Amino acid sequence: MSGKMNLKQLAEHLQLSPTTVSRALNGYPEVKEATRLRVEAAARAVGYSPNAWAKGLATGRAMAIGHVMPVSKSHEMVNPVFGDFITGASEAYLRAGYDMQLTLVDDEDEAMRYRNLRRRGLVDGIIVHAPLPADERIALLREIGLPFVVHGRASELPDDYAWIDMNNRRAFERATEHLLALGHRRIALVNGPERQDFALRRREGVLTALAAQGIEADPALLSSGEMTERLGYTATREMRALPDPPTAIVAASMVVALGIWRALRDEGVTLGREVSVVAHDDDLGYLRNGGDVPVFTATRASVRDAGRRAAEMVLEMIRDPSCAPLQTLIEAELILGQSTGRAPS
Amino acid sequence: MSGKMNLKQLAEHLQLSPTTVSRALNGYPEVKEATRLRVEAAARAVGYSPNAWAKGLATGRAMAIGHVMPVSKSHEMVNPVFGDFITGASEAYLRAGYDMQLTLVDDEDEAMRYRNLRRRGLVDGIIVHAPLPADERIALLREIGLPFVVHGRASELPDDYAWIDMNNRRAFERATEHLLALGHRRIALVNGPERQDFALRRREGVLTALAAQGIEADPALLSSGEMTERLGYTATREMRALPDPPTAIVAASMVVALGIWRALRDEGVTLGREVSVVAHDDDLGYLRNGGDVPVFTATRASVRDAGRRAAEMVLEMIRDPSCAPLQTLIEAELILGQSTGRAPS
DNA sequence: TTGAAAGCGATACCAC
DNA sequence: GTGGTATCGCTTTCAA
């Protein structure tokens, strides 16, 4: 019933040629409607599904998209948004009949892996995650000739490839503007790892907002690192020890914000009074599920949406390889909460 | 150089037969060492890698493991541990030359997807994520005859399949014991979704510890749902409104704990004095990166490790299909922090 | 509208 | 040790 049954056997069973059965199953127009129905019914009945390897070999198409995620040998965190992103992507793949292949690569042998992916023919397209400002993979993939979409951007490279990205720069600019409007002048940033492109853009956004008010950024108020609670904690303690500590802090993620809160609590400082905190949330969907949290600038749902759109973009590029590079910029929501207050006078 | 080049062409180039080249590249013993070296050098030089489809068709092996993750149509969260788990798994696959195929399925058409995976021959084995207490997939996969390892367990089913799991029951039992030892008697649990097996086990752990002290659980102190900040917040507010509110709370995750903290803060309650909080952390690795946080019972690193071991288990099962079901139980660490204190007298 | 047969690119059996 | 060749299961001309 559901055992092994191949096209040839199915064809014999139906008293038809493999050719016709294949055509019927793949929606070719030249097959008679009655025949098609008969074939489809039989296929369903015996639980036939084509052997993917034979199909791939014959067609040259993989019907699969590769997601490639760099993971340092060192214990770097896997960004929690990753799960949401691929959830969205898989929705699109499901609809289109594509599979998703996941490859985690060490930074070192990345190039080789891509070439392999291509030559082995396992994927028809690729989504590149976590790009660096001058990411080499972009040139590499173009050379290889595999359609690809970058989740994020490589700011130092010419903007002529396909990408989908949150407007990190603008989101952090707005968050900072918000704090400035509340009268804050000593505004700190606890940022993600600044070798990553997204973190650089976030930093730019903060600096832009400050500059617009004629404030020059104090390097002592700019911190960055892996987005952990520890980062938030230590950065805050250090900044609080400054002669002129910050009155407001922009946090790169809720996890970081948690560390900040702990640090402030340990110093007996009241959140929203002596110090205001604004956090970007792309990691845990507090907002969508939650209530009156601090300031947030992206929602979990939008990450999933980004994944879906990224997937649709690659599929489109596969369909029409000659099309101009698709680019999608997603604006973050800005939502205010209770942990921000006016600057103390 | 890196263009298309197949075995036959490589063989011609080398003045050898495809057979020999294939053998040389696949480490067959009967090929002369000198020949092997020559072939390998040439393969590297021209950038040859075998076509995966042809290979799969010829060998019948997919050299890929499928990870199947159920995702409800509704906006259920993707558990953040997922990213760490597959990171670990991919390390093992990389070493063994396997690929990872990711399939996210709606609850409904799961069965079909598994059958498809099998028939299309895309994977040699499967890792099942997020099992339910009486998960049907286990019977299904066994019937299909595909080697599989469950990440988690299905408590209501006979324990005769391969799994890897954290000892959730014991972890929560110990956390509760800790609170009991501090003199707490009104102990609340804010749990994950209890249709999931892991959440059920956690609940059992808490109840066991309470029962051991002759305390019967108050249903009003047992809350469960999606592990969001909102859950922690609302559950805490509701419990605090009880005539006899809890003096200690066990939280299913750090995210939930965050909501609890917010709720307590909003009520002007001091953490660790009036109310103690103990949180399970399998999501964000505070511990590994962090400092004196509350009580934690699992670390991020251990999730990654679990992924690696799960992968090794499937590979082992593929190697030796007749072996007894492998089962791995991982004990969680228990680490105490500053947000727990003696029960107020 | 249907069928016969030639690939697709590897592996593996059987000779030599 | 090495080489010829059938084989895996499907798609896709080309004929009928």
Q: What pLDDT digit, counting tens, does each position of A100-146 carry?
A: 999 888 766 777 778 778 777 889 999 999 999 999 999 988 988 88
Q: CA A58 – C1' D12 distance (Å)?
A: 9
The rounded distance, in Å, linking the Cα atoms of B338 and B341 is: 7
Instruction: Examine the domain organization and report whether A285 and A204 are in the same domain.
Output: yes
Predicted pLDDT of residue A294: 53
Question: Residue B219 carries which DSSP code?
Answer: G
Three-state DSSP at A61 gives coil
Q: CA A55 – C1' C2 distance (Å)?
A: 22
Residues 6+ apart with CB under 8 A from B59: none
Three-state DSSP at A198 gives helix
Instruction: Examine the domain organization and report whether A204 and A259 are in the same domain.
Output: yes
Residue B274: pLDDT band (50, 70, 90) is: confident
Name the domain boundary from A38, A59, A80: A59
Predicted pLDDT of residue B200: 97
The number of distinct structural domains making up chain B is 3
The rounded distance, in Å, linking the Cα atoms of A285 and A262 is: 20
Predicted pLDDT of residue B264: 86
Amino acid making up residue B287:
L
Please report whether residue B340 resides in a domain: no
Predicted pLDDT of residue A244: 96
Structural domain range at position A244 = 168-302
Q: CA B7 – C1' D3 distance (Å)?
A: 15
Q: What is the mean pLDDT of residues B325-332?
A: 90
Please report whether residue B338 resides in a domain: no
Cβ-defined contact of B52 to A122 (cutoff 8 Å):
yes
Ramachandran sector of residue A47 (left: φ over 0; alpha: ψ -120 to 50; beta: rest): left
Q: Are A257 and A251 in contact (CB under 8 A)?
A: yes
Residue whose C-alpha is closest to residue B239's, from B212, B264, B258? B264
The rounded distance, in Å, linking the Cα atoms of B159 and B161 is: 6
Amino acid making up residue B187:
I
Q: Are B344 and B247 in contact (CB under 8 A)?
A: yes
CB-based burial, B156-186: b 16+ in 10 Å, e otherwise? ebeeebbbbbbbbbbbbbbbbbbbbebebeb
Instruction: Examine the domain organization and report whether A243 and A173 are in the same domain.
Output: yes
pLDDT at B300 over 80: no
Burial classification of residue A32, based on how many CB atoms lie within 10 Å of its CB (0-12 exposed, 13-18 middle, 19 or more buried): exposed
pLDDT at B223 over 80: yes
Q: Which nucleotides of D are covered by protein (CB under 7 A)?
A: 1-5, 7-13
Closest residue, chain B, to A86 (C-alpha): B104
CATH number, residue B224: 3.40.50.2300
Predicted pLDDT of residue B78: 67
Q: What pLDDT digit, counting tens, does each position of A265-294 carry?
A: 788 887 777 888 888 876 444 433 333 345
Instruction: Examine the domain organization and report whether A202 and A270 are in the same domain.
Output: yes
Q: What pLDDT digit, counting tens, does each position of B148-195 carry?
A: 999 999 999 999 999 999 999 998 999 899 899 999 999 999 999 999
Please report whether residue B155 resides in a domain: yes
Residues 6+ apart with CB under 8 A from A265: none
Instruction: Examine the domain organization and report whether A314 and A283 are in the same domain.
Output: no
Distance in Å, alpha carbon of A208 to nearest chain B alpha carbon = 31
Instruction: Examine the domain organization and report whether B125 and B237 are in the same domain.
Output: no
Predicted pLDDT of residue B335: 67
Cβ-defined contact of B49 to A120 (cutoff 8 Å):
yes
Q: Give the helix ranges, DSSP H, for B216-299.
A: 229-240, 254-266, 286-289
Average pLDDT, chain B: 85
Please report whether residue A342 resides in a domain: no
Distance in Å, alpha carbon of A47 to nearest chain B alpha carbon = 9
Please report whether residue B336 resides in a domain: no
Please report whether residue B1 resides in a domain: no
CATH number, residue B11: 1.10.260.40
Residue B338: pLDDT band (50, 70, 90) is: low
pLDDT at B38 over 50: yes
Predicted pLDDT of residue A316: 95
Which of A52, A86, A286 lies at the smallest CB-CB distance from B121? A52
The rounded distance, in Å, linking the Cα atoms of B216 and B179 is: 15
CA–centroid distance for A81 within its chain? 6
The rounded distance, in Å, linking the Cα atoms of A15 and B98 is: 40
Instruction: Examine the domain organization and report whether B107 and B200 are in the same domain.
Output: no
Instruction: Examine the domain organization and report whether A222 and A267 are in the same domain.
Output: yes
Which secondary structure element, helix H or strand E, spans residue B93, and what is its range?
helix B81-96
- Whether this prediction's pTM lies above 0.85 is answered by yes
Q: What pLDDT digit, counting tens, does each position of B101-132 carry?
A: 998 887 667 777 787 787 778 899 999 999 99
Q: What is the mean pLDDT of residues B204-211?
A: 98
CB-based burial, B89-98: b 16+ in 10 Å, e otherwise? bbbbbbeeeb
Instruction: Examine the domain organization and report whether B44 and B69 are in the same domain.
Output: no
Q: Which of A22-36, A47-61, A207-221 has the highest average model confidence (pLDDT)?
A: A207-221
Q: What is the mean pLDDT of residues A27-38?
A: 89
HSE of A58 in the Cβ direction (CA atoms, 13 Å)?
7
Q: What pLDDT digit, counting tens, does each position of A67-108 carry?
A: 988 887 555 666 777 888 898 999 999 899 899 999 888 766
Residues 6+ apart with CB under 8 A from A142: A161
Please report whether residue B341 resides in a domain: no
Instruction: Examine the domain organization and report whether A148 and A108 are in the same domain.
Output: yes
Please report whether residue A37 resides in a domain: yes
Predicted pLDDT of residue B138: 93
Predicted pLDDT of residue A31: 87
Instruction: Examine the domain organization and report whether A39 and A72 are in the same domain.
Output: no
Phi, psi for A89 (deg, rounded to 5): -60, -40
Cβ of B35 near strand D (distance < 7 A): yes
Other CB atoms within 10 Å distance of the CB of residue B133? 17
Q: Are B220 and B239 in contact (CB under 8 A)?
A: yes
pLDDT at B75 over 70: no
Cβ-defined contact of A78 to B99 (cutoff 8 Å):
no
Residue B289: pLDDT band (50, 70, 90) is: very low
Q: What pLDDT digit, counting tens, does each position of A189-239 carry?
A: 999 999 999 999 999 999 999 999 999 999 999 999 988 878 998 999 999
The rounded distance, in Å, linking the Cα atoms of A169 and A106 is: 28
Instruction: Examine the domain organization and report whether A121 and A135 are in the same domain.
Output: yes
